[in-house]
Chains A and B, each alone.
Chain A
Amino acid sequence: MKIEISKDWCLRMAQREGDAEIGAGRLAIDPVFDGERIPADVAEEESPNVAFGRFVNLMRRQRGMSLEQLADDADVDMADLVEAESDPYHRPELRTAYQLANYFKVPQAGLMQVAGLAALKDARLFDEGVRFAARSESTAELTPEEGAALEAFVAVLSEQK
Chain B
Amino acid sequence: MTVEVTEVHLMDVASGESVAAELWHVITEEQLADWEGEWVPELFRAMQRLRRAGVERAHWPQSRHWDWRRKVAALQGMLANPGFSIVCDGATQGMMIVDTVKHRGRLDGQQGQHLVYVEFVENAPWNRAELFDPPRYRGVGSILIRAAVALSEELEFHGRIGLHSLPQANGFYANTCGMTDLGADPDHEGLRYFEMTPEDAQAFIAKGRSK
Which residues of A are interface residues toward B (Cβ below 8 A)? Answer: 1, 3-32, 77-80, 82-83, 90, 93
Let me know if B151 is at the binding interface, CB within 8 A: yes
CB distance A13 to B169 under 8 Å?
Answer: no
Closest to A67 in B: B44
What are the 5 tightest A-B residue pairs by CB atom distance, in nearest-first order?
A14-B139, A22-B141, A19-B129, A25-B120, A30-B70
Chain B residues with Cβ below 8 Å from A10 are: 8-11, 18, 139, 142-143, 208
Least distance between A29 CB and chain B CB atoms (Å): 5
- Say yes or no: A5-B146 contact (C-beta < 8 A), given A23-B122, A31-B74: yes
CB distance B207 to A11 under 8 Å?
Answer: no
CB distance B150 to A3 under 8 Å?
Answer: yes
Within 8 Å by CB of B176, from A17, A23, A27, A31, lies: A17
Which residues of B are interface residues toward A (Cβ below 8 A)? Answer: 4, 6-11, 18, 23, 25, 40, 43-44, 47-48, 51, 57, 61-67, 70-71, 74-75, 94, 118-123, 128-130, 135, 138-144, 146-147, 150-151, 154, 163-166, 168-169, 171-173, 175-176, 188-189, 191, 205, 207-211
How many Cβ-Cβ contacts under 8 Å join chain A to chain B? 171
CB distance B150 to A1 under 8 Å?
Answer: yes
CB distance A11 to B18 under 8 Å?
Answer: yes
CB distance A17 to B172 under 8 Å?
Answer: yes
CB distance B74 to A23 under 8 Å?
Answer: no
> 19 interchain pairs (CB within 8 A)?
A3-B6, A5-B8, A5-B23, A11-B18, A12-B209, A13-B207, A14-B142, A16-B176, A19-B135, A21-B166, A21-B172, A24-B120, A25-B119, A29-B66, A31-B74, A78-B44, A79-B65, A82-B51, A90-B57
Least distance between B204 CB and chain A CB atoms (Å): 9
Chain B residues with Cβ below 8 Å from A1 are: 4, 25, 150-151, 154
Closest to A14 in B: B139
Closest to B81 in A: A31
CB distance B23 to A22 under 8 Å?
Answer: no
CB distance B119 to A9 under 8 Å?
Answer: no
Please measure, in the bound complex, the distance between the C-alpha atom of A24 and the C-alpha atom of B139, giving whole angstroms.
Answer: 16
Chain B residues with Cβ below 8 Å from A20 are: 141, 169, 171-172, 175-176
